Amino acid sequence: MFGTAEPDAGVRDREAALQLATAVLMIEVARADYEFSESEFDRLLQLIENHFELTPEQAAELVNMASDEADQLISVRDFTKILHKHLTVDDKARIVSLLWKIAYADGRLDKYEDALVNKISDLLYVSRGRAMRLKYDAQQHDN
């Protein structure tokens, strides 16, 4: 086919790293209130599947890998750095939107979830105003 090195292997590796970073952050938000309910897990899988256009099996595999990474996580900075470096402002805002949707997945917003999404928004350089609009949109969608 392409010999030993495929030209788009780097693109696939970068995309895999971005997907993993996003999924880790989503899991961290879901766990922030120390309750990771079945509804949050189902919503997480659905959002990952839709956002990255993955099959249910691929989404589940990504969530499993991300969960393992999240178990070892010391700081979200490593993952936000990857996203900040490779994504556009609009792509980063879409990530923040996903995080708000996860935060509201169980029907309520916990103060720890709120603080974590705001921290991640700041680390991704998504303006506070835009982050608040995305939060409002996620809350309205949940109701």
Which tokens hold the place of 84? 């900040």
CA 12 to chain centre: 18
- Structural domains of the chain sorted by starting position, each given as residue range(s) with its CATH number in brackets: 9-142 (1.10.3680.10)
Output the pTM of the full model. Answer: 0.82
Distance, in Å, from the CA atom of 29 to the CA atom of 140, rounded to the nearest integer, reads 19
> From the first residue on, what is the mean pLDDT of each consecutive set of 10 residues in the chain (143 residues)?
42 80 90 77 88 90 88 84 91 94 85 93 94 90 60
With contact defined as beta carbons under 8 Å apart, do 97 and 60 qualify? Answer: no
